[in-house]
Amino acid sequence: MTIDAWLDLSALILILAGAILCLTAAIGLLRFRDVLTRLHAATKPQVLGLILICLAIALSLRSWPVVAFLVPIVLIQLATAPLSAHMVGRQAYRNGTIDEPSLIVDELADSRRTPPAAGG
């Protein structure tokens, strides 16, 4: 096999792996019961799936402008997915819509007893 055939085969495998990870993220959003587990399912496999798909596109097209286009996409995804998950999780905690008995460590328990504007 030539190098082009190996690169195409690896791009195919990466696309398949990325699609499977994105599918598991979607299934996790539907199947899990509370906000925190859904956030875990939405961020971790989805970001890795996107990275694998972008890597497959770069391998398949073999062009530096394409790589230059895909790098910011991956970086923005890596920057925004954890931040948005943190914001949604924090708001769910404040609203009381999480399953508190399932928490092993509750580092925000003190902040919940004191209102944010109380200064303490």
Residue-wise pLDDT tens digits, 2-18: 999 999 999 999 999 99
Per-residue pLDDT at 114 exceeds 80: no
Give me the pLDDT at residue 118, please: 60
Q: How does pLDDT run across 21-72, given as a tens digit for each residue?
A: 999 999 999 998 888 888 888 888 999 999 999 999 999 999 999 999 999 9
What is the rounded CA–CA span in Å between residue 107 and residue 102? Answer: 14
Nearby residues of 76 by Cβ (< 8 Å), 6 or more positions away: none
Higher pLDDT, 55 or 94: 55
